[in-house]
A and B are shown apart, each in its own frame.
Chain A
Amino acid sequence: MATYDWLFDSTGLRDWCDGEGGSSAPMSMADLMSQAGKAPDTSVWQTPFPSMDALNDACASFPQARDLTRGLERGFLDIKDSLSVVLDPLTQPLSWALEAALWLFQTTPWFVMIPVLALIVAVISRSARLTGLILAAFGGLAFINYYDYAMQTLAIITVCALIAVLFGVPVGIAMSRSDRLERIMIPVLDMLQTLPPFVYLIPLIFLFSVTEPKLYGIAVILYAIVPVVRLTNLGIRMVDPEVIEAADAFGMTRRQKLYGVQIPLALPNIMAGVNQTIMMSLAMVVIASMVSAPGLGVLVLRGIRNLELGVGLVAGFGIVLLAVVLDRSTKAALARVNAVQKG
């Protein structure tokens, strides 16, 4: 006898319960014990919550909790093929971009690559100290033979962060112009941000083949796009309403207002978003090594799997170094934007 028998008896559903023949679930310990004729004494204090499993005990036709997850899985698998037909061609360019970037970063010889990186940083930051830091960081990584891994990681981040910004900024602008879109997007962004990174990977593994770079590319982009969307939206919404009013009063069109006033004034916030996006894609690219993303993350994973303490720690340190370099460079660019705008 289960606790909730009375529910089905009193509502006249008993026939439906028994109609489809016994429980499909394996026997639980409680079932075994009751079959052995020693039904445990249940007091009121042990009344179970009327959960799916408890109701299934009383009525065999009632679905169990595991049917829910299995149903979800089946549903996903059913639409998977048609989803792939749509998503595969749409995301194929991402694979190409990642493959091309990986090829470019790895085939460019170190004595070209490191100076080019230093030059880029020198141009955007105008800081000799920062340029020195870049040279030292990559020189150090190359010296301990982690150069290739670092370049793979950098290649993935470059592509993913670029795409995240390319999509994130327009989405943020659209959000700033429509309160309705903002109301819809904010929960989506909240979910993307709080969903544990591993969870992104699960449906992606079903959708795409693990050998394809777009699998981890999408995971990284989804995770990293949030801050740039949020901060673009926020930055544009925070532009001084008096300045917007002045733009209107002088008869600017919406386009003139957007490109001439809103985006330039929101630029410090947008740049802060870009910085966060780069940082988050770095965080995700490490986790994505579980689904075949190359780079320093692979070494961290090796450290965990094979208990190679040294490899794991050094690779982790290399990631920190990469993070510092990327963070300082983007912050230097941000500081220059700020310096132009206000003093």
Chain B
Amino acid sequence: MTDAKISIRNLFKIFGEAPQEALAHAKAGMHKAELLEAHRHVLGLRDINVDMQEGEITVIMGLSGSGKSTLIRHLNRLIEPTAGKVVVNGENILDYGDARLRRLRRSNMSMVFQKFALLPHRSVMENVATPMIVEGAKKNDYETEAAKWLDRVGLQGQGAQYPHQLSGGMQQRVGIARALTSNSDIMLMDEAFSALDPLIRTDMQDLLLELQRELRKTIVFITHDLDEALKLADHLVILKDGEVVQQGEPQHILMHPGDPYIVDFIADINRARVLRARTVMTKTTDPVPVDSEVSATATLEEVITQGGGNADLTFRVMNRDRQVGVLPMRDVLAALVATQGVERTEAPAA
């Protein structure tokens, strides 16, 4: 069907006493508020279709109640859907029996939780080794492997501690190490950094990106924080009231928000820090007179800093020593207020 690692097809989830009845209404076009009003059923997810590519970070973003945590729990069937398909590695996991589902959870998917969800009565080492202990490994078998991942997340020598002796940030490092120990190729992260304070959150995001460069896992990351989403995402899915409002490459969503809801959503972010040169540049490989060079992945903030505040410069945008486009400073400045620009240019057309 597709070569995506995980693909979700026509997924519905309805909470209530007679979900199948309510499902018919939802399929007929009812949305969350109407369904609750008319039939006393809560629409968790409505007609979700998302493809998650191997080796990418897919970020699912939405405010509380948007169904993002419900959605991620469908990927390892902690929640059963009302209708639809979840295809992982080409197999519909909803057809799985108990034993096959356990194998999926043990070897294909691991999960990191918002409130860490470590086992308080087990040491850090045992917590990190949980996936191996579940498989029946003894202390000798798991010790080196668990220690390796503890080192990798920066917790050398903390194995003998108990979770409550660690700070929140360190506990979540244990959570990540635990997920890595399972050696699964898919990692589900449910608001993994939301309970941490901002500085530590930034650290953890950097840690995740660093690990990801090395391990190339398929990561599904849930967050309500747009800055975090933009920093991590290769593919961004925005949920609202259980429905996908827009999905795509984050830079693309920023430049072309497809819905007033998203326009509102992205209105408050620091665009200079998020938008990159390659997104705003004019694509050309023709040599043109330029003042300076910037990297394709440089943020606009870096471009402005490099220009020293001069608004008349033009940059050559480089990707691995090859020119991929040019970027006049005027476009940089225009992009900083582009949200309104998009609306203005679209309004007369409509």
A binding-site residues for B, Cβ under 8 Å: 240, 242-243, 245-246, 248-253, 256, 260-261, 264-265, 340-343
A200→B110 CA distance, assembly (Å): 53
27 A-B pairs whose Cβ atoms sit less than 8 Å apart in the complex:
A242-B114, A242-B117, A243-B119, A245-B78, A245-B117, A248-B105, A249-B76, A249-B78, A249-B111, A249-B113, A250-B110, A250-B130, A250-B178, A251-B103, A251-B106, A252-B134, A253-B102, A256-B134, A260-B119, A264-B121, A265-B119, A341-B120, A341-B121, A342-B120, A342-B164, A343-B164, A343-B165
Digitize B108-131: 1 where CB-to-A-CB distance is under 8 Å, 0 elsewhere: 011101110111110000000011
Across-interface contacts of B104 in A (CB, < 8 A)? 251
A242→B111 CA distance, assembly (Å): 12
With A256-B134, A341-B120, A342-B120 known as contacts, the answer to whether A246 contacts B111 (CB < 8 A) is yes
Q: Write the chain B residue with the least CB distance to A340.
A: B121
> Shortest CB–CB separation between residue A270 and chain B, in angstroms?
13
Across-interface contacts of B314 in A (CB, < 8 A)? none
Across-interface contacts of A248 in B (CB, < 8 A)? 78, 105
A265→B105 CA distance, assembly (Å): 23
B113 and A245 form a contact (CB under 8 A): yes
Across-interface contacts of A249 in B (CB, < 8 A)? 76, 78, 105, 109-111, 113, 188
Across-interface contacts of A253 in B (CB, < 8 A)? 102
> Shortest CB–CB separation between residue B94 and chain A, in angstroms?
16
A157→B281 CA distance, assembly (Å): 84
Number of B residues with CB within 8 Å of any CB on chain A = 29
Across-interface contacts of A252 in B (CB, < 8 A)? 134
> Shortest CB–CB separation between residue B281 and chain A, in angstroms?
42
B165 and A250 form a contact (CB under 8 A): no
Q: Write the chain B residue with the least CB distance to A264.
A: B121
Q: Write the chain B residue with the least CB distance to A257.
A: B134
A243→B118 CA distance, assembly (Å): 7
A245→B104 CA distance, assembly (Å): 15
> Shortest CB–CB separation between residue A21 and chain B, in angstroms?
59
B119 and A251 form a contact (CB under 8 A): no
B115 and A250 form a contact (CB under 8 A): no
Residue in A246, A250, A341 with the greatest tally of chain B CB atoms within 10 Å: A250
Which one of A251, A256, A342 contacts B105 once the chains associate, using CB atoms below 8 Å? A251
With A251-B103, A343-B164, A343-B165 known as contacts, the answer to whether A246 contacts B120 (CB < 8 A) is no
Across-interface contacts of B102 in A (CB, < 8 A)? 251, 253
Across-interface contacts of B114 in A (CB, < 8 A)? 242
Digitize B91-108: 1 where CB-to-A-CB distance is under 8 Å, 0 elsewhere: 000000000011111100
Would you call B182 an interface residue if the criterion is a C-beta within 8 Å of the partner chain's C-beta atoms?
yes
Q: Write the chain B residue with the least CB distance to A246.
A: B117
A248→B134 CA distance, assembly (Å): 11
- Which 4 pairs, one residue from A and one from B, show the smallest C-beta to C-beta distance? A251-B105, A251-B106, A246-B117, A249-B111
A61→B133 CA distance, assembly (Å): 74
With A242-B113, A245-B113, A343-B164 known as contacts, the answer to whether A250 contacts B121 (CB < 8 A) is no
A261 and B119 form a contact (CB under 8 A): yes
